[in-house]
Amino acid sequence: MTSVSEVVYHGHDAIRFEREAGQIIVAVNTGHYYVKSRLKNLHYAPDGTLVGRKIYWNYVFGVFHRTGWLGWSLGTILADITSLALIVFGLSGMALWYLPKHKRFKRRLGKWMA
């Protein structure tokens, strides 16, 4: 442990243990403890059973974007190309869904106007 301090965590008095890999936070009143890292926060009951898990998706996606799939700049280029392709597929799907409805609307409007 690199340091130990008293903190208020989620509205409860707690003791925070700092370490290289993250933090361990123990709630004084309940005995529940949290094992935090940059990627996730695991919540344990006093008997050691896992109660909850939170993944920090912003950090995960940030690391993925900075390092890419392969851990170098080509990986970030591939990730950007993939995201652009997904956007194009989404927009083309919306167009394919909308165009038949638009044509049908124009036909009905033409019959009504005549």
Range of the domain at 16: 3-55
Q: What is the pLDDT of residues 17-63, one digit of tens each?
A: 999 989 999 999 999 999 999 899 999 999 999 999 999 999 888 87
Residue that terminates a domain, selected from 28, 55, 82? 55
44 and 73 together in one domain: no
**Does 79 share its domain with 107?**
yes
Do 46 and 65 lie in one domain? The reply is no
The number of residues in the chain equals 114
pLDDT at 114: 57
Among 38, 32, 22, which residue's Cα sits nearest to residue 52?
A: 32
Number of domains in the chain: 2
pLDDT of residue 61: 81
Q: Are residues 86 and 108 in the same domain?
A: yes
Under DSSP, is residue 46 helix (H, G, I), strand (E, B) or coil?
coil
**Model confidence at 71, in pLDDT bands (50, 70, 90)?**
low
State the chain's mean pLDDT as an integer: 86
